[in-house]
Amino acid sequence: MAGTLKLQIITPDRVVLDQEVEQVSACAIDGELTILPEHEPLTTALAIDVVRFKTKGYESAAAVIGGLLEITGDRVRVLSDSAELDVEIDEARAHQAKERAEAEKTQRADKLDVYISEMAIARAVARLKAAELIKRRKHSINN
């Protein structure tokens, strides 16, 4: 299809997404970027956040726990240790994970333990952001 990108989100366990999209937005470790067709080649490290993508005018998202984003031609490939599509996220579990990690962080003194708790919080927040995007999308479709 002209005017589209092939987006692949891949983890060691599975191919999370492999489809044509109109645009991709992601949070790299050095800032936000949006990729449209005919983007220059690029490889960058991703932050723990969401990767948003538009298909037929509708925005969807995937919570991505860091990784790499590579743009070659009209292909965008995200390689991450862990990723979930917004429709796969259990929002209640994500809230519980965030609360648990925040509670653990307050009880930690060791820098490594604090860092691990902060990473768990960041993961839960990314999952909640993705879940919020799908809730907004469903709400706008129903109205």
Q: What domains does the chain contain, in order, with CATH numbers?
A: 5-86 (2.60.15.10), 89-142 (1.20.5)
Residues 6+ apart with CB under 8 A from 137: 58, 59, 60
Indicate if the pLDDT at residue 88 is higher than 70.
Answer: yes
Whole-prediction pTM = 0.75
Indicate if the pLDDT at residue 141 is higher than 60.
Answer: no
Residue 14: band (very low, low, confident or very high) from pLDDT cuts 50, 70, 90: very high
Helix (H, G, I), strand (E, B) or coil at 116: helix
The whole-number pLDDT of residue 75 equals 96
Indicate if the pLDDT at residue 93 is higher than 60.
Answer: yes
* 28 vs 124, residue with greater confidence: 28
* 94 vs 78, residue with greater confidence: 78
The whole-number pLDDT of residue 31 equals 92
Indicate if the pLDDT at residue 1 is higher than 60.
Answer: no
> Rounded to whole angstroms, what are the CA distances from 46 to 58, 67, 81?
23, 5, 11
